[in-house]
């Protein structure tokens, strides 16, 4: 491995370092007055419910981000879990420039080649039963569309989500979301219920041998919903890996059991793959991963983040039957940036690159490297309670000790600060339902050498932070 920066938080300056760990930012960052920008931000920007990061980011390129202070970090969150192919990917840049100049935005009722091409490529990659697509702007909007369509097509209005879910902050999406953001705004849209979110590390549902009994937990959850429902259950919406909820993958067989529960109640199954699709978790679509779930295809699939590589683009895929039913019932959804050509062209190029370069397999293979390194860290530090995830998507839960499993958010923050100083940006989730979990999701174009150097930085961050409970 390449040498790490020292832990005194001074950025490295070695121009031969190819890992992206803590090296100098471009010279023009010297011209940026970070203190003035922060002062301007404090008086002109609206707060969003959490503090803005203290550093002003002046550049993002490849797998790296650069601060105004001249510090470079590997971006282990891919921006907002979106830059699947890295920042400033040259092919994506070329597509954006070309379409900005020649075919950027149209009247929403008009079609263009990029939109049709993306629909053809995307439905061609999806399993049969996901036959029609529409393209929108954000993950929240795609879930809003999905919930609206489910209600119209079923003639029912009740929606079931998972208790640690995140689906967006628009009215229908946030009503089906239980991670955060519900308090203080008055009633949400009526008819929403929560199932216990799968959590193999913390769930109280256990077999006699102590293993996780998710099947009983799921059945018990539905028994409570059946008692609360007024007989109008329309849909269930779930993520294959609950990222905002702490990087918890659904157990093998969970989707099949969930689909059976939906079928018994004439409900639709909506799967939200904002973060997990297009190879991130080691499969083109994460719902296809487990053999125990073979044959399960959602009635509605929503995509966003990874599809646009940082450009605002989301998608909804449905069956031919559902699309026709919605049309016959007068389905209406009309927004300014629906089926815009520029983002659609980007999405089409993202899919082309992922397939052409074998990046799904690559994400799976590099995911094994990442998870092996994280497991090695767990063997060395007692404050790591659990490692989970799949592919290039991982969660590292920080606890005070493994017996009590009490979240150690302050310790996690200290480790995260040290890690950032060493040249790796990995977000620590601090909401109560996160329980203090590092969410790790580097671009799937990351080099193995970068991963190994990042893991070495994590080792140093844990080693040099008081309270990490070294076991050696």
Contacts (Cβ under 8 Å, ≥6 apart) of 409:
398, 428, 430, 436
User: Which position among 439, 450, 459, 460 bears the catalytic label?
Assistant: 439
User: Which position among 151, 156, 275, 364 bears the catalytic label?
Assistant: 275
What is the DSSP secondary structure assignment for residue 287, as one 8-state letter? G
Q: Do 258 and 287 meet the contact criterion of CB atoms below 8 Å apart?
A: no
What does the alpha-carbon distance between residue 53 and residue 429 come to, in Å, rounded to a whole number?
A: 13
User: Which position among 239, 450, 456, 460 bears the catalytic label?
Assistant: 239
User: Which position among 121, 305, 349, 364 bears the catalytic label?
Assistant: 305
**Full DSSP string of 62-97:** BTEEEETTS-EEEETTHHHHT-TT-BT-HHHHHHHH
What does the alpha-carbon distance between residue 122 and residue 146 come to, in Å, rounded to a whole number?
A: 17
Please say whether the dihedral angle defined by the alpha carbons of residues 122, 247, 309 and 322, taken in this order, is positive or negative: positive
239 belongs to the catalytic site: yes
User: Which position among 121, 158, 166, 283 bears the catalytic label?
Assistant: 166
Q: Do 20 and 64 meet the contact criterion of CB atoms below 8 Å apart?
A: yes
166 belongs to the catalytic site: yes
- CA 160 vs. chain centroid, Å, equals 20
Run of H or E including 439: strand 437-440
**Angle between the N-to-C axes of helices 359-380 and 448-463, in degrees from 0 to 180, rounded to the nearest 10:** 20
275 belongs to the catalytic site: yes
User: Which position among 75, 144, 272, 459 bears the catalytic label?
Assistant: 272
272 belongs to the catalytic site: yes
Residues with catalytic annotation? 166, 239, 272, 275, 305, 439
């Amino acid at each position: 491995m390449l040498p790490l920066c020292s832990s005194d938080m001074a950025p490295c300056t070695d121009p031969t370092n190819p890992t992206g760990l803590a090296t100098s930012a471009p010279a023009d960052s010297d011209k940026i007055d970070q203190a003035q920008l922060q002062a301007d931000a404090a008086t002109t920007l609206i707060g969003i419910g959490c503090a803005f990061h203290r550093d002003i980011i002046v550049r993002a390129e490849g797998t790296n981000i650069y601060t105004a202070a001249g510090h470079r970090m590997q971006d282990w969150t891919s921006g907002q879990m979106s830059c699947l192919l890295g920042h400033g990917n040259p092919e994506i840049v070329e597509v954006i420039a070309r379409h900005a100049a020649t075919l950027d935005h149209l009247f929403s009722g008009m079609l263009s080649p990029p939109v049709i091409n993306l629909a053809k490529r995307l439905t061609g990659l999806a399993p049969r039963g996901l036959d029609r697509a529409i393209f929108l702007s954000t993950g929240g909007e795609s879930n809003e569309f999905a919930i609206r369509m489910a209600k119209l097509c079923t003639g029912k209005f009740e929606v079931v989500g998972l208790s640690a879910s995140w689906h967006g902050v628009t009215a229908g999406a946030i009503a089906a979301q239980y991670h955060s953001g519900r308090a203080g705004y008055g009633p949400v849209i009526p008819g929403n219920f929560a199932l216990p979110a799968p959590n193999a590390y913390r769930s109280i549902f256990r077999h006699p041998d102590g293993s996780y009994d998710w099947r009983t937990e799921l059945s018990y959850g539905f028994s409570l919903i059946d008692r609360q429902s007024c007989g109008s259950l329309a849909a269930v919406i779930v993520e294959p890996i609950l990222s905002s909820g702490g990087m918890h993958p659904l157990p093998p067989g969970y989707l099949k059991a969930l689909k059976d529960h939906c079928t018994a109640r004439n409900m639709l199954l909506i799967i939200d793959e904002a973060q997990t699709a297009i190879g991130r978790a080691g499969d083109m679509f994460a719902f296809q991963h487990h053999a125990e779930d073979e044959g399960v295809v959602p009635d509605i699939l929503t995509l966003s983040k990874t599809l646009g590589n940082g450009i605002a683009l989301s998608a909804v895929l449905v069956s031919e039957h559902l699309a026709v039913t919605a049309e016959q019932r007068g389905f209406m959804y009309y927004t300014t940036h629906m089926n815009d050509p520029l983002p659609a062209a980007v999405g089409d190029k993202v899919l082309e690159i992922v397939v052409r370069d074998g990046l799904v397999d690559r994400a799976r293979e590099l995911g094994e490297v990442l998870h092996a390194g994280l497991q090695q860290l767990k063997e060395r530090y007692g404050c790591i309670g659990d490692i989970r995830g799949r592919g290039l998507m991982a969660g590292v839960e920080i606890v005070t000790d493994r017996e009590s499993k009490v979240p150690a958010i302050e310790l996690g923050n200290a480790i995260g600060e040290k890690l950032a100083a060493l040249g790796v940006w990995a977000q620590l989730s601090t909401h109560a339902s996160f329980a203090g979990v590092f969410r790790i999701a580097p671009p799937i174009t990351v080099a193995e050498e970068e991963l190994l150097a990042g893991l070495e930085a994590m080792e140093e961050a844990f080693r040099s932070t008081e309270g990490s409970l070294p076991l050696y």
